Amino acid sequence: MLRGFGRVDVMIAHSPPLGVNDDPDDPVHVGLSGLRAYVERCRPAMLLHGHTYPPMPVKRFAGTEIRHVRGHRIVELPGP
């Protein structure tokens, strides 16, 4: 679904990219392969996600700042 989606600066997604902040021992709490491909291709400045419960969240992947959000979080958006 993201193949034709253009580049954005900030992306909000329910799940993380596959292999980033997921739990490989729990098939319900893994990231999405299409989202991983999108991040690798388009490199948004920031991606906010929930769904998983990473004990030590990844903070950067393929040049994108990744933030696991649970409840609420104040973030500083990347500048130009």
pLDDT (tens digit per residue) in 46-76 = 999 988 888 788 889 999 999 998 888 788 8
Pick from 68, 73, 77, 57: nearest CA to 10: 77
Tell me, what's the pLDDT at 80? 67
pLDDT, the chain, mean: 89
Mean pLDDT over 26-38 rounds to: 92
Q: CB neighbours of 47 closer than 8 A, spacing ≥ 6? A: 10, 11, 12, 13, 16, 17, 39, 64, 65, 66, 67
3-state secondary structure of 28: coil
